Each structure stands twice: as C-alpha cells, then as structure tokens.
Structure 1
Amino acid sequence: MKKSEISRECSGRRSSRIRRSLIGATSFLCLAWAGAASAQQVEPPKVVPTVAVSETIAAPSPPPPDVQMPEVEPIISDEEFEKAIPSISAEDDAELDRPLESIADFEKRQAAEAAKDVETTADATVETRPPQVDGVSIPALADGDTVEAIGDAPISDSELAAPLPPLESFNVEPVQFAEAEVDKDNVSIAYTVKVNGLEAADESTDVDLADLFGDLSALYGGDGKADNAAMIRARLSADGELMQRVLASEGYYDAVVDTRIDRGEREEGQEAQERQARQRRSITAVIDVKPGKRYTLADIIINAAPTIPPTLIADNFPLAVGEPIVAQRVQGAEAAIALKLPQEGYPFAKVGQRDILLDGATGDGVYTLPVDIGKRSRFGGIETTGDLAFDADHVEVLARFKRGDLYDSRMVDDLRQALVATGLFSSVAAEPQATGESAGDDTEYVTMLVTQQAGPPRTLAASAGYSTGEGIRLEGSWTHRNLFPPEGALTFRGVLGTQEQGIGATLRRSNWGRRDRTLELVTEVTRSNYDAFNAITGRIGARFSYDSTPIWQKKFTYAYGAELIATREDDYDFTTGERSYDFYTILGLSGQVGMDRTDSLLNPTKGFRITSLIQPEGSLAGRFSPYARLRTDVSGYYPVTDSIVLAGRVRVGSILGAARERLAPSRRFYAGGGGSVRGFGYQDLGPKDPNNDPIGGRSVAEAAFETRYRFGNFGVVGFVDAGQVYRSSAPTFQNLRFGAGIGARYYTNFGPMRFDIATPIGRKPGEARVSVYVSIGQAF
C-alpha cells in the first residue's frame, strides 16, 4: 500500500471491517503520517505515543500552500514501512472495496447477532452452561470443572437450590483450636515508670516534688499494670500534663516535659517466652523533665481602699518580695486576707482575681491583687426565717455579741456552732445583711439573718453493756427535743438489766435564760439487786448545770441542785447477824465544779481534767442527821507519739459527819468494776460482812494507768488499776488491791467501743479469775 493510499484510508474509509480488522494498523499508519507531516514544522518527538482510536478517525489538515517546508528525512524508510504493513488477501481487498453500510443498518445487524447469541445460550443444558454470579460467567477451573468439590463430597445443584433451614434449628458447634485459648482476663502489660531531670527542681523547693507527683500520678496509681499499650499512653499523656502543673505550682513556668515509651528487649529462655506470652515485652514509661528557671516575686501590689488600722492587710499578708512564686503560698496568702478582714469589721470584703506578670528574661514576677474591703460594720439586730425551731429572741440568747460590737466573723461562727449544738436543725445558716444604717465612726449596722430548717424533733436511743458483777445492762430512751420551745426537751428513760431495772422522766431546758445553762427536772424509780444491797428507790431532783457538749467543749463547768430520795434498802446488822431492810428519806444538795484542758471530750489524747463534787445530805427519818459526801477526780493524758497515748486517773472520796451504820447502803462508797478497779467484780472491794458480801465504806481511793495504742479505727490498751474502800472517813491508802489487763477499742464518730478483760493481782479465794467489761467510751 502506498502512502497516498494510506492517507485516503485515514481520511475517508469508514467500513466496519476497517474498524475491526485494521484499526491497529490504520491508527499506527495515520499517526506515523501525521508525525511525518508535522516534522516539517517542528522537531519530531523522540517517542511516538500510542493512543486509542475512536470509531471516527479524523484526517489531518494539510499545510498551507505558501509555506516552505524544510526537507526532513523520514522516520523509517519505505522498505521498512512496507515490511511492517500486513499483507491483504483478495477477500480483504474485496471487503475494502465494498460500500460502507449506514449506521442504522449497522445497529440492526448488531442487535440481530446479540439476539441469536441469547437463543443459543438458552438452549444449552445446565451441565454445559458455565455458572454465573450476577450475570457474570465463572470461568472453568484448571481441570476443566466449573464447580470445585469441598472436601471429598461434591455438592449437587439440588443441594445448592434447597432452602435454608430455620434459624432456630441452626446449631453452631464451637471451633476446636489446636492450642488452648489464652484467658483474656489474665492478659496484661507490665510497665515501669521513670522520671528524669526532676532532681534539679527538688533541690530548690521545700516540698518533695517526686512524692507529690507520685501521689497524683495515673501511672503510679496503676501499680505497673495496664490492659493494653493504649492505656499506658493515655496515662503517660495525663502524667505529662500533671508534671507540667506540679512544676508550675512551684514557680517553674518555663518547664519542658517530654514523654516517651521505651520497649525493652525480649528475654531468652522458655520461662521468659511463657512470661512474654502473658505480658508481652516490658515497657518503660519515661518522663523527661527540664525545669528551667524558677520565677520569684519582684513586686507585690495590693489594690485596696484604706483600712483601720492602715496596715491591716500588709500585716496579715504572708508573701514577701524575693520569694519563689509558689501556688500554695499565693493561695494561702489570699485566703488569709479573706479570713482576716471579716474578723476585723469588714463582713463584705472580697478578694479579686490575681494577676502575675512574668518576665522570661529575668525570671521576675509582678503580683497584683485587687481587694474590695466593703463597708466597715457593727452588729445590729437578729432576724430569722425558714422553718423555725425557735424565734429570734432565743437566737440572741445564744449569741456572744451585742448590738454595737464591731463585726467579727469568729462570733458568727460561734453562733452557728451553738445553733448546731442544740440538735434541733437539719440545716442552719447565719449571714450578715447590710442595712445602710449608720453606726457612727464611719461604720454601719448589719443584721444577722439566721435561716433555720427544723429537723425531726423526736429521737429513739439505745445502749447496751456488760461487765462481770453487773451483768447485762440495756438502756433505751425516747426524747422530744423541742416539746416546750425554746429547747424544752422531754425524755422518757428505761433500764433493764440483770441487777438493775428502772424507769424515769426528765424535763430538760437547754440554754435556759443564758447561753449554755441547763435546767433539769428528774423523777425516777429504780430497783437494784447487788451483792452490797437490795433497794427500791424513788428520786426527784432539780439541777442547774453549765456542761460540755460533744460539739462545744468547755474549759470550765459547774452544776448545782437538790434532790429528795426515798429508798428501802437492806443492810447487814452485825448485832443480829442477819440482813434486814430499813427505810431512808434523804434530802440533799449537790455542787460540782470542773476544769477541762483536754483536746477531746470523748477521746482525749493530751491535757488534763479535774472535777470536784460536794453533796451535803441529811436523813429525815427521826432527828435530822447531816453529813457530807466529798469526791475529787483527776485525769491526765500525754501523747508519746501520734499513735501512743499514756493516760492516768486518780479518785479520792470521803464522807464526813456520820457513822457508816447511819448511812443508807446506796450512799456509801464502793470500788471495783469497769469504771473503777478492773479485775474485780462490781462494788467488790472494801469491807465485807461474814457472808463475804461488800458493805461499803466512808472513804475510797482509786488509781489507774493505761497505755493506748491506736492504728486506724482500731486500738489496743494495756492497763493497771488499783483501789480500796476504807471504814474511816479518810482513805489510808493501805491494802490497795491491783488488777491488770488488756483491752480492745473500735473508734466510731460518737466515741470508742470498749472491750476490756482483766484479772486481779494476788487473787483471793472467791474472787473471779477473769472479769470482762463491754461498754461505750474510754474507761476515763
């Protein structure tokens, strides 16, 4: 084929035969010709690209006739071109000379051929038709089969076409593994924590930064174990931020903290491989610290109005120029100002938001604090609102301040505590309210607003105890704490024990007429059955007291009152040699004073207490026979360490003015038991009758020493007690009896539970080898 013929084919021939049989050759020839033609204008490309030819081949446009084309050698010679052209048979040549069919005829012929192919496929059998998926035929396998057998059993088409069984009947057999599955609950990753570079900051601070970081660290809190590596990374990220905050709190604001995870090398050996199968490789969480410079205070600026006295803020602000900027110190200084100003007459003082300007070049910080001191004030009236337990007049009784006194927040706190100590509120608050009323001296009055929320007024209480000699003792009570407002409580009490039974009622008016003064009216009937005496006793009495409470412990206490006792008791008559009953009517007065310098009312650990009691009494049977009962108790407490306390107690008592035989047995002195000399039975020491029953005496001397060791909510106590009762009116301190033992304590929020076991030293015939005491509270 000549080049002119090729050009004709590229520009005009469009038969389907050309498109299907000669498309490759024609495209190549057309591109080759185009490249040869364009080569006369531009430099021919080194590589001729091969492109896909569309159904319609466009002929290249010839160059203009007036253009002078340079002579360019052909890319290939005519001989090479002729050899590359495939030969065309006579049939092909006739096909090429046939006129082109129209597009419509071409499309009809294609549709007819496609329909014929569909009919041929439909007539084919199932065995000969290849399987299809979504209309796509699956090619045959290498061995000619179109379906591969699973295992040794081929699957027939009928099985594949069968419907699936119901889901309920589908039984899943667990897969059996060749090796046992690892229990995922036991899978964990072991890691260690390493902190580098913190020593430099530790040396210049007053706190141990490593300990502070360790107490708050998530990595240390995980005890070196994590479920996966992601958990370790999360803990490490959190600890990196924590380290940044810890350093900033000590003035290292430019600290750089980097974190990374180091993976250790795998260990060798069978044991190591087994351990790694459970824990993988060891991981080290590393925190690298560069503290940088520590910033210090270069200037302190307090923006506040003038105070009275003028140096009130400066004298109570503990920060100083030149010291490091420590967050705890800064916050403490601001809290000191917020606390001191209300104590000195500024109830509405407010500390604003601090500002610290840091100079990175010098490490200096300028501290600025705005303070709004508010109006200087004095106490005015008292108002109350809410669900009232009592009115404002009774609140004034509880307050330790008067109208016109300079405002002091400590007095407000004291009032709040006194309100809580009444036990009548579920919640109570006392807050100052500005009135704008001038109080002179550039001050104004404030009203104390007491918001009350009365609590449940009724209380049921019970207690139980046991001791050798006294047996079991159960006590219960019902109290309405505000039956007669304000603070008028009525209590019914009952005692049920193996050796004592009784009932009684008490009317108690707390804060009667003045703060902390209490009035009690008591009536009771008891039955006692002790070795020393049997008695049925009725008593009525009145008592005024100034006592401590669990919330408000007082340094000085006192009490005074009167009582009338009518009792029928038995006593051993040495003239007749037998016990006989007698009736006693006793009128008595009582007075008590106390000093308390301990740190706790229920569980003291240091300090001392002194209590003295005097009871002038007289028998109304026949002629009046006066006498006086005197008793003094002293106890002291010394802390050896935070967990060891030494405690001691001494008691001395005396009855003056009457012989023992003229005293009712219940009014004599006795010793022995859990609150007296442990190791002996209740009232077991002292003079005895021929039946070896105690008959009491006119004087008593007791002493006790304890070593108390506490660990957490538990404690152990070792103790030695001593004591004796004497016939004389003054103790002689001779023939003292000793008991020793050990006790256990369980500390609760209302006091310790006590369990003591003791034995007498130098035990005599008839005395118990071991005595047990169970009760609430320390022995003294």
Structure 2
Amino acid sequence: MLRHKRRFFGHFCARAVSVAVGCALVLSPAHAADTYDATIEGAPNGLKDKLELISELIEGAREYPTAAALRRAARRDIETFNGALQAAGYYAGKASFDLVPPDDDGKTRVVFQIEPGPAFQISEYEVLFEDEAEGRPRSFDEAGIETKGAADGAALRAHQQSFLSVLWQSGFPSAEAIGRRSIANLETGAASAVFVFRSGPKAKFGPPQIEGLQKTDASFIRRLKTWEEGEEFDRSKLTAYYDKLRETNLFSTIDVAPGTIGDDGVTPVVVTLEERKQRTIGAGLSFSTSEGPGARIYFENRNIFGHGENARIEIKGSEVEQSITGNVTRPLPRFGGHAFGSAAFSNETTDAFKARTFVVSAGLSKRWLENKLETRGALALETSSVREDGIEERNYYVSLPLSVIWNNEDDLLNPSSGFRASWSVTPYTGSDTFTQSEISGRGRVHVGADELITFAARGSLAATLGSTLDDLPRNKRFYAGGGGSVRGYGFQEAGPLDADNDPIGGLSRIDGAFETRVKVMENLQIAAFVDAGSVSASNLPDFSDEFFFGYGGGVRYITPIGPIRADVAFPFDKRESDRGFQIYIALGQPF
C-alpha cells in the first residue's frame, strides 16, 4: 500500500509539471511579476499612484502562468479601478486594458487605459432623516457647515461626519449616519449628494452612572463632570469629561458614553473605569564630570483617600547635593486646580558654599486654557545653615512663591512640539527682605521629513531686588555653569571667582543655549550646541558683563522611556582653573 501511494504521487507531480511550473515550486512575489509588465496610462495627476497601490497585477504577488489568467486578473483590476474613479469624483470615468504579446524580453504587457472624464462637482446637498424629531438641522447651511463642492469620497465622508457631529452637539446623543449617495448628471458634469441620518429623540443630560470603581470615591468622579443635569446634550462635553478623567492619571481604562434615553428625555452618562495600580517606584542615574555620579529614586502613591490625592517621596544624590522631598497634591474639581503641600531637606556641598536647608510650603494651583496655562501661589517657611570660609550663618525666611507657567509641550523627556515659558516672583522676608524673579522659555522647530533636523533653544533671565551681594546669603545667589546651565564649565563656575577660584555668584543671571539635533537613524540623533551665561553683581541682568561660552556635541539614543543623552563640552575661553572639557550623561533632552 505504501509503495502504491508513492507511485501515484510521482505520477501526479509529473503531470502537474507538464501543465504548470512544478509540484513543489512556489514563486516568491519578486519572481511572480518576472513574466509580465503592467502599466497604467491616462490617469489624472495624483490618482495614478493610488491605482498602482490597489492593482493586483502591479503588486505582483501572484503567479499568472497563462494569458487567460492575466486577463482574469486584469478584469478584477478594472473593477477596482472603476470603483476608485467613482470614489475620486470621476463619475463618468472608465478603465480598460490591452494585453500585448511578449516582445524580445519575453514578457507579456498589460496596459491599463484610464479615461477619467470630467471631475464632477457637487452642486446640491440634500439631508434626509429616517425618523421624526424636532429641533434638528435639516440642511448643511442650517448646520453651519461650509461645502466646497468636492465630489470625492473623502470629502463626502468628511461632510457626513461634520453633520453627525452637529447632531451630537445639538442634543441628539443617539444620532447615526445611515448612508450617502451621489446622483450624477453626465451631461453637465454636476452631481447632487444625498445623506441619510437617523437622529433619534432629543435628550438632556442626566447624572453619570459610574461602573468599575474600587478605591476611588464616586463623588469625586461626579464632581469632575462637565455638564449640568437637565441641560441639552452636547457630545463635546463628554469629550471634555473624558479628558478630565484621563488627566487624573488614576485609570488604565476609561469609557464615557451616553446611556439609553428615558421617557422624560433624559440620558444618563455611562462611565466605565478600570483603576491603574496605585503605587509606582522609579529610579534614574546620571553622570557629569562637574557634579559626579548622580542618582534618584522616588515612590509615588496615587489616590490615597479615594479623591485623586497623590503623594510622592523623592531622594536625590550627587557629589554636590543630596536631598529628600515629599509632595502631596489633592485635586479641587470645582476650583479647576489643585491644593498642594511639600517638605524638603537638602544638603549642598559646593565650591561656593556649604548649606543645609529645610523648607515647608503649601498652596494652590489653577489651570486655564485647556490646561496649557497654570498659575501657582504658595506660602513657604525656610531655614538654612550656610557655611562659608569657616563661618556658619543661620537664616530664616517666610516667602510667597508666585508663578505663571505656559506649557503645551507634548512630552516631558523628549518633547517634539510646543514650548514652555514661565515667570516666577518670590518675595522673602525674615533674616533679610528681598525679592527674586526669573523668566525662562524653551522651544524647538523641525526641518525635513520625519523631523530630520531639530533646532532647539532655551533662555532665562533672573534678578534680585532689595538686597546687595554682600547681604545676600550664598545659597540664595544666582550661579551659572554645569549640565543644566553653561555646559563646558564646572558646576557654578561660569561666572566670577574669588582668590581661591571659588564661585562668588551674583544678584542676577543671564543664560541660554542653542542646539541642533540631526537624526542619523530611527532611534539615534547627533547634536551640536553652544551655551552662554553671565552672572552679575547688579540687581538686574547686565548684558555688558562678561559672558562665558561653552560648545560641544553629543548623541541622543531614543528609548521607550526617553532619550539617553551623552554630551562632551568645552569652555570657549578656558581659564587656568577650568577643566579642558566636561562630560554629561543623563536621561532626557537638555531642553
């Protein structure tokens, strides 16, 4: 029996080889099109490329061993092309093909001829409803939708979606698009478009029906709602509500949808949530020749009491500073912001001074303009012990930190769009009375396809009013130099030095940087930069004081958690006390 099967299989293969190519031979796509050529002629500009993408023969993924097989494939392409012409607004268009016998190269040629005819324009838009309801728009003009007459499928689909959005925003939560069609007049080259909708009954907002909560208090979710119960339904308010829920950072899954409309015309809002894990532990490492190795570790606990509270403890350490900070925030939905409190202890050991500082603060923040603008105000109590030249000084301050921050950047560690600008004013009283203020900004632009080249820049101005340099404690002075300031100089060393080559600091500061990044691979950038800074003994920034310049380059390796950055920088005008170069390794773009 086994021998008989072998003879039968061999006989079958032998016959198959004589008809086609071979029993065991499968041509790859690259070989399948080697026996023919397919071209498209007569297609309008912009349409030819699209037709080539949807053509079975031009794709070349199958084998066509006979002329009959090529004709069948060509007819399938003709049906596809005619549909594409209709979708592009060429309602009178048609496609045909010719099969040209093999020439010297042995290839059969399939030549598609496209006769597009005129590009039709929509001269009339008609809106039909399958049901009855009051208060709904019945035409595009009534809905405030501008029409431009384009007859292609994408334009008609966009018009349909726009009208549907108007229905959703006009109190019809269950509105849906049923269909659309075009009626063409082949003699005039004009067409009318007919859209069919089902609006359902008009509705008013009801209360949120919340599902899936475990730790979170339902009253907190209800306070976030963006509508008043009893007002006309508007789906855009559901989108705003979804955004508010997402911004709490408490949920891994969020679904917000209108419920079934009741006999009283009220629709509840069904909110389905899945809470994310409450606790997060993270860590980071850095290194620079100016500050030595650095590390940080943080612990975050979200939603402590079920109302979106967030507690975070962070420990940071390097050769020049060690600190521990604790922050607690609580959302205030009706206020549109947060209440916050913090406590921090730091130990700074630099060439300029040695200081131990403890600060506690509490305040409020509020967001405006779709959360892009934030205003903050706080009350802070601070005490510090500052040692300079063997003399220790104890200071006490009460301060009122105030700030305005604009931030529409799209990412914390690797922003590709948007910019950030801030202005802060902090009056101090206690051991001394003075006010410090700082304004800063950063942004970037991209050039070339796929953000090939990025030009990034940052700058800041800082000032101290109401004090002199001798009266201001060293830990309250402004400094420049280091990885976050003027690269190429040591930490705090891009400024005046005393007789021992230790930084003096100043009452005001100017610093900025410009960087060019070029993408050389999908996940790799090379960068070149120039940094500049000046520290002055005057109360306001003085552009006539000496500026310190650093320059250099580096690489940015893009990872899922952010770019890993390695830079080498050089001082432009090296002093005897300056190192010849500085190295910086960290996570995230510098700005």
TM range (shorter): 0.7 to 0.9
Q: 1:760 to 1:728 in 2, by over 3 A?
A: same
Partner letter of residue 655 of structure 1? T
Deviations 1:273-331 (A, max 9, x none): xxxxxxxx5x35524134354584575431136645665665455556xx564221221
Matching residue of 1:337: 163
Please give the alpha-carbon distance, in whole angstroms, between the structure 1 residues aligned to 2:425 and 2:278: 35
Matching residue of 1:764: 575
Contact 2:140 2:146 in 1 (8 A): no
Matching residue of 2:104: 265
- Partner secondary structure for residue 400 of structure 2: strand
Please give the alpha-carbon distance, in whole angstroms, between the structure 2 residues aligned to 1:184 and 1:385: 54
Question: Are 1:556 and 2:365 counterparts?
Answer: no
Contact 1:317 1:334 in 2 (8 A): no
Once the two structures are TM-superposed, the CA of residue 692 in structure 1 deviates from its matched residue by 0.7
Structure with larger RCO (C-alpha < 8 A, sep 6+)? 2
Q: 1:407 to 1:601 in 2, by over 3 A?
A: farther
Aligned identity (percent) is: 25
Counterpart of 1:247 (choices 77, 85, 91) is 85
Contact 1:345 1:407 in 2 (8 A): yes
Q: 1:298 to 1:501 in 2, by over 3 A?
A: closer
Please give the alpha-carbon distance, in whole angstroms, between the structure 2 residues aligned to 1:493 and 1:534: 22
Matching residue of 1:302: 127
Matching residue of 2:402: 591
- Partner secondary structure for residue 675 of structure 1: coil
Once the two structures are TM-superposed, the CA of residue 744 in structure 1 deviates from its matched residue by 3.4
Matching residue of 2:194: 368
Considering only CA atoms, is the larger Rg found in Structure 1 or Structure 2? 1
Please give the alpha-carbon distance, in whole angstroms, between the structure 2 residues aligned to 1:446 and 1:593: 40
Deviations 1:535-564 (A, max 9, x none): 33333222322369xxx9633211111223
Contact 1:478 1:493 in 2 (8 A): yes
- Partner secondary structure for residue 354 of structure 1: strand
Please give the alpha-carbon distance, in whole angstroms, between the structure 1 residues aligned to 2:426 and 2:138: 56
Matching residue of 2:5: none
Contact 2:469 2:506 in 1 (8 A): yes
Please give the alpha-carbon distance, in whole angstroms, between the structure 2 residues aligned to 1:404 and 1:709: 55
Once the two structures are TM-superposed, the CA of residue 736 in structure 1 deviates from its matched residue by 1.0
- Partner secondary structure for residue 495 of structure 2: coil
Counterpart of 2:115 (choices 269, 277, 291) is 291
Q: Once structures 1 and 2 are overlaid, which stretch shifts more, 256-265 or 399-408?
A: 256-265
Q: 1:227 to 1:420 in 2, by over 3 A?
A: same
Please give the alpha-carbon distance, in whole angstroms, between the structure 1 residues aligned to 2:204 and 2:141: 19
Q: TM-score of the superposition, structure 1-length normalised?
A: 0.63
Partner letter of residue 730 of structure 1? L
Please give the alpha-carbon distance, in whole angstroms, between the structure 1 residues aligned to 2:234 and 2:208: 15
Matching residue of 2:423: 612
Matching residue of 1:91: none
Counterpart of 1:397 (choices 192, 215, 223) is 223
Q: 1:361 to 1:637 in 2, by over 3 A?
A: closer
Matching residue of 1:632: 439
Partner letter of residue 354 of structure 1? R
Once the two structures are TM-superposed, the CA of residue 591 in structure 1 deviates from its matched residue by 0.8
Partner letter of residue 589 of structure 1? L
Matching residue of 2:49: 211
Once the two structures are TM-superposed, the CA of residue 735 in structure 1 deviates from its matched residue by 0.7
Contact 1:236 1:259 in 2 (8 A): no
Q: 1:750 to 1:229 in 2, by over 3 A?
A: farther
Deviations 1:686-723 (A, max 9, x none): 23232212132211111323344457554444332211
Once the two structures are TM-superposed, the CA of residue 413 in structure 1 deviates from its matched residue by 0.7
Once the two structures are TM-superposed, the CA of residue 334 in structure 1 deviates from its matched residue by 1.1
Please give the alpha-carbon distance, in whole angstroms, between the structure 2 residues aligned to 1:216 and 1:317: 32
Once the two structures are TM-superposed, the CA of residue 333 in structure 1 deviates from its matched residue by 1.5
Q: 1:748 to 1:335 in 2, by over 3 A?
A: farther
- Partner secondary structure for residue 353 of structure 1: strand
Higher strand proportion (structure 1 or 2) = 2
Once the two structures are TM-superposed, the CA of residue 489 in structure 1 deviates from its matched residue by 1.8
Counterpart of 1:653 (choices 462, 469, 484) is 462
- Partner secondary structure for residue 166 of structure 2: helix
Matching residue of 1:687: 496
Partner letter of residue 568 of structure 1? S
Aligned residues: 555
Please give the alpha-carbon distance, in whole angstroms, between the structure 2 residues aligned to 1:683 and 1:535: 15
Please give the alpha-carbon distance, in whole angstroms, between the structure 1 residues aligned to 2:282 and 2:340: 19
Once the two structures are TM-superposed, the CA of residue 190 in structure 1 deviates from its matched residue by 6.0
Once the two structures are TM-superposed, the CA of residue 429 in structure 1 deviates from its matched residue by 1.3
Counterpart of 1:678 (choices 466, 487, 500) is 487
Q: 1:611 to 1:358 in 2, by over 3 A?
A: closer
Please give the alpha-carbon distance, in whole angstroms, between the structure 1 residues aligned to 2:454 and 2:62: 44
Contact 1:250 1:324 in 2 (8 A): no
Partner letter of residue 564 of structure 1? L
Please give the alpha-carbon distance, in whole angstroms, between the structure 2 residues aligned to 1:571 and 1:636: 38
- Partner secondary structure for residue 625 of structure 1: coil
Contact 1:724 1:736 in 2 (8 A): yes
Matching residue of 1:406: 232
Partner letter of residue 471 of structure 1? G
Q: 1:237 to 1:603 in 2, by over 3 A?
A: farther
Q: 1:219 to 1:738 in 2, by over 3 A?
A: farther
The residue correspondences of 1:416-495 to structure 2 (distance < 5 A) are 416-436=242-262, 444-495=265-316
Contact 1:595 1:610 in 2 (8 A): yes
Contact 1:718 1:741 in 2 (8 A): yes
Partner letter of residue 566 of structure 1? T
Q: 1:678 to 1:228 in 2, by over 3 A?
A: farther
Counterpart of 2:44 (choices 189, 202, 206) is 202
Please give the alpha-carbon distance, in whole angstroms, between the structure 2 residues aligned to 1:463 and 1:284: 63
Matching residue of 1:15: none
- Partner secondary structure for residue 236 of structure 2: helix
- Partner secondary structure for residue 673 of structure 1: coil
Please give the alpha-carbon distance, in whole angstroms, between the structure 2 residues aligned to 1:466 and 1:553: 37
Contact 2:40 2:48 in 1 (8 A): no
Q: 1:360 to 1:633 in 2, by over 3 A?
A: closer
Please give the alpha-carbon distance, in whole angstroms, between the structure 2 residues aligned to 1:464 and 1:287: 63
Structure 1: state its 5+ residue gaps.
1-182, 267-280, 439-443, 573-578
The residue correspondences of 1:129-148 to structure 2 (distance < 5 A) are none
Partner letter of residue 537 of structure 2? R
Partner letter of residue 429 of structure 1? D
Contact 1:698 1:727 in 2 (8 A): yes
The residue correspondences of 1:79-118 to structure 2 (distance < 5 A) are none
Counterpart of 2:508 (choices 688, 694, 699) is 699
Counterpart of 1:569 (choices 386, 395, 410) is 386
Contact 1:383 1:392 in 2 (8 A): no
Q: 1:317 to 1:726 in 2, by over 3 A?
A: closer
Once the two structures are TM-superposed, the CA of residue 419 in structure 1 deviates from its matched residue by 0.7
